[in-house]
Structure 1
Amino acid sequence: MNPSRLRRPLAALVLSGTAAFLGAFGSAHAFSNPPIQVAQGIEYMCGGAARDEAAFMEMVSPRWAATIALGVSDGKGAQQGGFPAQAAVEIRQRYTGQLVMDVQTRSPYMLARLNPGAYDVNVTLGGLTLTQSLVVIAGVPARASFVWPSNFDMASVTPPLAQTLAQSSATAR
C-alpha cells in the first residue's frame, strides 16, 4: 500500500478542521485587542469599555503581574458599566515612595507587568484620589479595585458627548 495515499486525506481533514476552528474563533472575537503600551519602562494595557473587551481583559489578567480595576458604585453595591472619564494612575514603591509608573486611562481595566514588590497605587478622578496597597509576588497575579462612591459627581469629570465622539473618531483614523 502506498503511504502517501493515506497522508492526503488526513492532511485535508486536519486543514479543514483547522479552518473551521479558526473561522469560529475569528467571528467570536471581532474586536481588536487593546494595544500593549510602555510607560517608565513598564508594559501595560488598558481596556474593557465594551463587553467583549472586558471579558478579554478578565481572561488575560492572570497572565499579568497586576490588575487595576476602576468603577463607580451604583449605590447598591454593584459597579456601573464602563468608565467614561479619564483617571490618573500613579504607582509608587511603598517603602521608598519612588514613582514607578504614572499614566492616564479612560478604561475600567489596567493590566501592568510590575516587578515583584510592595506598591501604593493612587488613582485620581475629578480631584478625588483613592489609594490602595498592592503586593506583587512573582507568578501570583495581584489585583486592586477602585470604586468611587455613588454620590461622586461623574458629570463634572465626564467630557460632553460631542467631545467624546470627536475623540473617538480621531483615534479611529
Structure 2
Amino acid sequence: MKTLASHRRLGHTLALALTLGAIADPAGAQLPAVQTQGEVHYLSGGIGSDESEAIKAARDAYSLTLTLAGKSEGRDVYLSSVPVTIRDAAGHTVLEVTTSGPYLLVELPAGRYEISARYAGEEKKTSASITAGKPQRLSLLWPRANAQPQAGAAASTTSPAIGLSAGAGLATGTSTGTGAAATTVATAVLPAAASAASGALPPINTQGGIPYLSGGIGSDESAAMKAAASRYSLSVTLAGTQDGRNVYLSSVPVTVTDANGGVVLDVISSGPYLLADLPPGRYRVSARFQDEEKSAEARVAAGKSARVSFLWKGKP
C-alpha cells in the first residue's frame, strides 16, 4: 500500500519533470539525470557549454543552486568532484554527494540549511534559508584552485573533473589510451588564422625554453584552446569516464621526455588541454591520474601537430 508520503514524493517528481520539460533549451542539450537521496531531488553537472546552458535554464525549477569555483593563476575556474553536505536546522544530513560539475541543483523543503563543501583540503561553509517559490543561488569560491605545488612538494593525483556534455566523446582525430600506452595522430597544421576567442586563451608559460599553455575550462577558453592547438607541435587531452559519460580532467601531472630520456617539460595541467611547442623529434608523454599512469610516444615533425589523448576509464 502506498503511503501518503510516497504519493507526495511521486507528485513532486512528476511536477518537477513537467517543469523541466517546459524549459526551452536552444541547444537541445540534455540535463544530467535527476537523482534522489532520501526525499531530496537533485542533479549535478554543467561543464561543457551545452550542458552548462541547460542547467542554467533549469535553475529556477529548484529551490537551491550551488556553484563551485576557484581561482587559478588569476582567473576563475569551475570545480568538480567536490564533496558537498547539506544539513537541516536540526543538524540532520539531508544530502551528501560528490558533484559531477560546477553546479548542484537541489529541491529542498522550506527551512534553514547549513551547506559545507571541501576542495583541496579546505572546507567552505554557507547557509541557506529556503522559502517556497523563491529559488536560492549560492556560490562557494576557493581562492587557490589547481595551483602547482612548490618545488619539492608531492603532486596531488586527485583532480577535479571537468565535465563534457552527457554522451559526448573525445574529439575526432585523436586516439585514446586505454591500456599501458596510447597512440598519437599527426595532423597537418592549419593556417594560423586568428581565433575569434583568442582573448580567452590562458597565459603562455615557458619551461627550459619550451613555450606551453594549459587550460580549457569554460566554453570560451575551451574553444580558444581547440583553435590554437594546430599552432603548437604537441597537443595533449586529458579525460576520464564518470557515470557512463566522458569528463575532462584538470590538475593532472604531465611529463614530456626526449629520445634520450631527458625531461623537457614537467607540469601540472590547469585544464583538460596542454599545448606545447617542441622542436622536431621523438618524445614520450606521460600522465598520472589517481595513481594510474599512462604514456604515449609523440613524433613531432616540422609543420605538423602531434596530438595525444589519454582516457582513464571508470575514473574519477
1:142 and 2:136 are equivalent in the alignment: yes
Higher mean C-alpha displacement, 131-140 vs 120-129:
120-129
1:36: which partner in 2? 34
Once the two structures are superposed, residues 85-126 of structure 1 have per-residue CA deviations (whole angstroms, 9 ceiling, x without a partner) of 4111100113x2111111111310010000110000001122
Whether the aligned pair in 1 keeps the contact of 2:82 and 2:160 (CA below 8 Å) is no
- % same residue: 24
3-state secondary structure, aligned to 2:244: helix
- CA distance in 1: counterparts of 2:160 and 2:116, whole angstroms: 22
CA deviations on 1:21-68 (whole Å, 9 max, x unpaired) are xxxx89x52532211011122110111111121111111101111001
Paired residues in the alignment total: 143
**Unmatched runs of 5 consecutive residues or more in structure 2:** 1-23, 149-154, 163-176, 179-237, 247-316
AA partner of residue 30 (structure 2): S
Question: 1:139 aligns to what SS in structure 2?
Answer: coil
Structure 1 unmatched runs, 5+: 1-24
Q: Secondary structure at the match of 1:29?
A: coil
Task: Give me the whole-angstrom Cα distance separating, in 2, the residues matched to 1:87 and 1:151.
Answer: 12
Partner of 1:171: 244
Return the alpha-carbon distance in structure 1 between the equivalents of residues 85 and 113 of structure 2.
10
Q: TM-score, normalised by structure 1?
A: 0.70
Change (3 A) 1:171 1:130: same
Contact 1:121 1:134 in 2 (8 A): yes
Aligned to 1:87: 82
TM-score (norm: length of structure 2) = 0.40
- Aligned-pair RMSD on alpha carbons? 3.0
Relative contact order higher in (CA < 8 Å, ≥ 6 apart): 1
Measure the CA separation in 2 of the matches of 1:139 and 1:61: 12
Q: Distance in 2 between matches of 1:132 and 1:122?
A: 7
Paired position in structure 2 for 1:106: 100
User: Which amino acid is the alignment partner of residue 121 of structure 1?
Assistant: I
Whether contact under 8 Å (2:70, 2:145) holds in the other structure is: no
2:159 corresponds in structure 1 to: 158
User: Retained in 2: the 8 A contact 1:39–1:103?
Assistant: no
1:64 is matched with: 62
